[in-house]
Amino acid sequence: MKWIYFLALFLALSLTRSGFAGEIWPLPPSFTAHYSVYLKGLPVGKGVRRFYSQGENYVFETQTETSGIAALFRGDVIMERSLFSQTASGLIQPLRYEYKHARKKNPRHDLIEFDWTNGVANNTIVGQEWSVPLSEGVLDNMLYQLVLMQQLAAGERDLSFKVAYKGEVRTYTPRFLGEEAVNIGAQQVNTLKYQRISDDGKRQTTLWCAPQWHFLPIKVEHVEKGDAGVLILERVEGL
């Protein structure tokens, strides 16, 4: 398995509940979180995640890139960004989702435009175009990770979500594994632990979400074909 996959682990935090009209959960405050990426215990990259308001809307974005020895072989940079709104009734609605993978060979640019007036999401993924019917509560591949924090902070523990991606709406249901302490530097942080196993059983993603930082995932482990990639929080500003 290619190590660069783990630079995009933010895409694999498949654990949240879609927002429904009538349920108003506060969004977390604006923040910036810095992560390190490890593969088989070796550092291979860095990641930065940001959430902030932009006019009447909001932006949730991540940028990851190779570092250290890995950067000598592949200068990959991955950007993922969600522009969204929150209605007066509290419903979270994605407006535009963008994914860019800058690399020497086969650069990639994916885009999803959400047309809530006509109830359709227009996808352009790897040069292919799809239109996906929208229903209330559908999120994008980035935004559901913010809603995860929002729902856990509201006391939700049984989580699932709907996300529009690659020409379809997918549903995932994670499993709550209980509470567990995680070491972040010299600090021991209490977390809620969730895990999702892919339908074919070949991929497993585990998240540790910290209540003291508005349930931000401070550790993510992804296992596939016996290889384990890990994201670890280095520091966070704003939470």
Quickly tell me which residue has 């989580």 as its tokens: 159
* SS3 category, 4: helix
Distances (CA, A) of 161 to 142, 171, 183: 12, 6, 29
Give dist(CA 239, CA 213) in Å, integer.
Answer: 5
Say if CB 68 and CB 89 are below 8 A apart. no
Say if CB 50 and CB 35 are below 8 A apart. no
What is the pLDDT, as a whole number, of residue 126? 74
The rounded Cα 99 to chain-centroid distance in angstroms is: 12
Say if CB 182 and CB 189 are below 8 A apart. yes
Q: Across all residues in the chain, what is the average pLDDT? A: 84
Give dist(CA 138, CA 13) in Å, integer.
Answer: 16
Per-residue pLDDT reduced to its tens digit, 120-166: 999 887 778 889 899 999 999 888 888 888 889 989 998 888 988 77
The count of other CB atoms within 10 Å of the CB of residue 203 is: 16
Per-residue pLDDT reduced to its tens digit, 179-225: 999 999 899 999 999 998 877 878 888 999 999 999 999 998 888 87
Whole-number CA gyration radius for the chain: 17
Give dist(CA 131, CA 232) in Å, integer.
Answer: 36
Cross-strand partners of 222: 205, 229
DSSP-derived secondary structure for 138-153: -B-TTHHHHHHHHHHH
Quick check: 19 pLDDT over 80?
no
